[in-house]
Amino acid sequence: MSKKIATNGKKVVKKSVAQSKKHDVVKKSPGPAPGTGGRPKKTIDIKKLIRLAKQHCTQLEIAAEFEMDADTVEARIKDYYNDPNMTFSLFLEQNRLKGKKELRQTFWKSITDEKNIIPSLRIFGYKNYLGMSDKIEVGEFGENQRLTEMTPEEQESRLNELAAKQLQKDKG
């Protein structure tokens, strides 16, 4: 199939459809070198990223904070550490452990600091580290008395009573 095309308003030249399509294609400039073109990479404030990881933020929360996909954040982490094996999960795990350590150090400092005393925090810390409790346990060993607080004779007597009760339960 041929098509009439007017050139300069004087001559009419017949060209085939294949020829006209071939010449109508717009040639593009060579552009940037391969691998250097495209959209610029989104940057991440690595200090902010580490701070968020230490605060135990999830991957999705961190990605939302930087307004990008979690895969993009992982790619920036790999770029920053120059390590293809560094994954988002590994990065989070390492920094969460650092965050726990820093929290523990801050907590310890706050309960041992004599200048800035916070009584309730100090009491909480002491109870947790020393295994103390406000509860008085009432159980099989008597009214408000633990087996460890009894004399050896009382312990033996009480254990014999409990053993006898258990035998009766097993038989009955």
The answer to whether position 129 is within a domain reads no
pTM for the model: 0.52
Within a domain: residue 123? no
User: Tell me, what's the pLDDT at 167?
Assistant: 79
Q: Is residue 56 part of a domain?
A: yes
pLDDT at 13: 53
Is residue 70 situated within a structural domain? yes
Per-residue tens of pLDDT for the chain, all 172 residues? 545 555 555 555 555 555 555 555 555 566 667 667 778 888 899 999 999 999 999 999 999 999 999 999 999 999 899 988 889 999 999 999 999 999 888 888 888 887 877 788 888 887 887 777 776 555 555 544 566 677 778 877 877 787 788 778 778 6
Query: Which residue range(s) make up the domain with 68?
Result: 46-98
Count the domains in the chain: 1
Q: Is the residue at 75 inside a domain?
A: yes
User: Cα–Cα distance between 152 and 158 in angstroms, integer?
Assistant: 10
Residue 103 domain flag: no
Which of 154, 97, 95 is CA-nearest to residue 86?
A: 95
Q: How long a stretch of residues is the chain?
A: 172
Is there a domain that residue 35 lies in?
no
Please provide residue 37's backbone torsions phi and psi, each rounded to the nearest 5 degrees. Answer: -90, -170
CA distances (Å), origin 135, targets 78, 127, 148, 150: 51, 12, 16, 19
CB 53 within 8 A of CB 95: yes
Whether residue 66 lies inside any domain: the answer is: yes
Phi, psi dihedrals of residue 19, rounded to the nearest 5° = -70, -40
What does the pLDDT read at residue 31?
64
Whole-angstrom distance, CA of residue 38 vs CA of residue 149: 76
Closest CA to 86 of 97, 75, 95: 75
